[in-house]
Structure 1
Amino acid sequence: MLKNVLVTGGAGYVGHVLVPRLLADGYNVTVYDLLFFGSRLPNHPNLRVEQGDIRDTTKLATYLKGQDAVLHLACISNDASFELDENLSKTINYDCFEPLVVAARKAGVKRFVYCSTSSVYGVSDAPDVTEEHPLVPLTLYNKFKGMCEPLLWKHKADDFTCVTVRPATICGYSPRTRLDLSVNILTNHAVNKGVITVFGGKQMRPNLHIEDMVDAYRLMLTAPHDKIHGETFNIGFENHSIADLASMVKSVVETNGRRDIGIVTTPSDDNRSYHVNSDKIRRVLGYAPARSIEDAMRDLARAFVNHLLPNSFDDDWYYNVRTMKKLGAR
């Protein structure tokens, strides 16, 4: 059984939900993270949080010793992050990836889970984009995420289980909530301004509740080697247009007390649009989400009302690019 897990980027949006679940599952967890956003992870005897840069392979290698599995979440995430220094994103999202994989295998890690993204598909008119669909990246972010995938396969071995997951856009509440992702943006506007601004609207986007994302990562630690080794899994069961997401948010927020939410539509130059098919993970591993996108909207709306997300428009902490610009990340 895998017992010791290292999570790169474990102090991020997903990590703040994932790590407590792993601890509850009985794992010893090491989080390796630059801590751009600090840490609100639990004070737990089986948790070690190390502030470190994944580009520093020598330092990271010391923390890989004794680890059974790596969940590689760390990256400069989402397409807008390339407003930053392009070299920052390239060095973190691509250049250091293969050295990390090599170091993990050398350290005796038994399983490597690469957290890619469904945005590698870019734009597709296909009614169902499966894992075999060509990658058509529109930005450097999804280009580099896709380029890392074959680098992982170079090192897979019978004693080094390798798997890639391509999640949909995550939504819902976390102790380190991001408010620069589609569903979260729309819900913030609905609850706190009473008006939702839709950029474009026709683009199709898959979304996934953050708790379901966490369940999928946990599954990757326990799934049999022969079911996942060398495999890629889409994880995104609900596909909606941005306009439909706005209508869903309007309904959820109005139902929960805020009346007459307006919707304003403006043009957008973000043309990413694709309809992800996730039949494979259901067929191979029996995985299906336990929550809906509406559940994520309700969770966020409740968090706003309960003052868990104060200053949601003004505080840079909720926004990746704004925070990293403020810190002068490089």
Structure 2
Amino acid sequence: MSDIKTIFVTGAGGYVGSLLIPALLKEGYKVRAHDIYWYGEDVFDGVEDKSNLTMIKGDLRDADLLKETIPGSDAVIHLACISNDPSYDLDPNLAKTINYDAFLPLVDIAKESGVKRFIYASSSSVYGIKDDPEVTEDLPLEPLTDYSKYKAMCEDYLNKAASDEFTVTTIRPSTVCGYAPRLRLDLTVNILTNHAINNGKITVFGGQQKRPNLHIKDMVEVYLFMLKQDTAKIQNKIYNVGYENFKVMEIAEKVKATLGTDVDIVVTPTDDNRSYHVNSDKIKNELGFVPKHTIEDAIMDLKAAFEAGLIPDSMTDDKYFNIKRMQNLQAK
């Protein structure tokens, strides 16, 4: 959209943000990159031209800072959160203050500041465990954890804030995979690839649970795509974004086959039997978005990054593992 020139991104220094910010800059947007930068402030060192980049270091719960820095932005992409259930459970009160309590004023401030478009990264975990073979956007939400419950409550609050001047859209991504400057190695495909390359062995917990996966380049492309859609098409809309639904054991076998290495796959029991098959036809049928990358691409991207020395100390450095970093920071 020609009227969207300046983008305010929360969680800019995170896994998806670290790839999204350079992509937005490449598209010619001015970017305000808000993050507390727990995982390092060097995340955009690889960006050559930073003339349109403003880094804003701060806590999402600091409403005064948001009131200072959001005005003049045309769109907000909200990525910031304590992500996934285990990280949330480390300190449920901290997680609630960031994931839910800070979300409400963020939406209000964005709207009051004249932001035209608000894109929210929710989660496919809001569905809970479904027996339906295809989990579509019109199924009832049955969040099983505080993490997913507050994601669902944020969706509801955002939808009620929509107006003729304030277009709101929710994305429900699946598990993201692949290489990014701020890398996570605590997500299924990335975990298995790291262990296959650097441990010579893949441990699969359970293995029969089905997981929907999404290449990080496609995740970034969704946000770029949404910024260009007509407001009438995406107002108050919710879209699943998760394409390759595979059992964890099938993903392990893909890792082994793609790398062409003779690694052992060891299966251990697990209490985590969440299994679901996310259907993402709606965004294709309504808007025409289709993904371009695969799990195999993600595995090969990670392999290339390991070989280039871009992922040092991948088994031990806490920056790759959200829970370890949060524990070590004793985040409050």
User: TM over 0.5, yes or no?
Assistant: yes
Counterpart of 2:103 in structure 1 is 97
The answer as to 2:112 corresponding to 1:106 is: yes
Q: 1:56 aligns with which of 52, 55, 62?
A: 62
Offset, 1:262 = 0.7
Q: Choose which of 316, 319, 326 in structure 2 pairs with 1:317.
A: 319
Q: Does the alignment pair 1:301 with 2:303?
A: yes
User: Which residue, out of 186, 204, 213, partners 1:180?
Assistant: 186
Task: Tell me how many residue pairs correspond in the alignment.
Answer: 326
Aligned counterparts of 2:126 and 2:63: Cα–Cα separation in 1: 26
Task: Map 1:229-240 to 2 at 5 A.
Answer: 229-240=235-246
Deviation track 1:151-199 (CA, whole Å, cap 9, x = no partner) reads 0011100110000000111000001110000110000011111111001
How do residues 1-330 of structure 1 correspond to structure 2 at under 5 angstroms?
A: 1-39=3-41, 40-41=43-44, 42=47, 44-254=50-260, 259-330=261-332
1:79 Cα deviation after fit: 1.5
Displacement of 1:122 after TM fit? Answer: 2.0
- SS of equivalent residue, structure 2 residue 161: coil
Distance in 2, matches of 1:146 and 1:272, equals 18
Q: Which amino acid aligns with 2:165?
A: D
Deviates more, 1:68-77 or 1:137-146: 137-146
The one-letter amino acid of 1:27's match is: Y
Q: Return the alpha-carbon distance in structure 1 between the equivalents of residues 291 and 231 of structure 2.
A: 22
Secondary structure of the 1:61 match is helix
Gaps of 5+ in 1: none
SS of the residue corresponding to residue 59 of structure 2 reads: coil
* Distance apart, 1:82 and its partner CA: 2.3
- C-alpha deviation, 1:83, in angstroms: 3.6
Q: For residue 136 of structure 1, report the CA deviation from its aligned partner.
A: 1.9
CA–CA separation in structure 2 for the residues paired with 1:94 and 1:214: 23
Q: Is the Cα contact below 8 Å between 1:5 and 1:71 reproduced in 2?
A: yes
Cα shift at 1:138: 2.4
Q: Which runs of 4+ in 1 moved over 3 A?
A: none
Q: Residue by residue, what CA displacement relative to the aligned partner does 1:64-90 show, whole Å, maximum 9, x if unpaired?
A: 110000000000011210242111100
1:144 and 1:78 map into 2 onto residues whose CA distance is: 12
User: Aligned-pair distance for 1:324?
Assistant: 1.1
TM-score by length of 1: 0.97
C-alpha change, 1:137 and 1:271, in structure 2 (3 Å) is farther
RMSD of aligned residue pairs (Cα, Å): 1.0
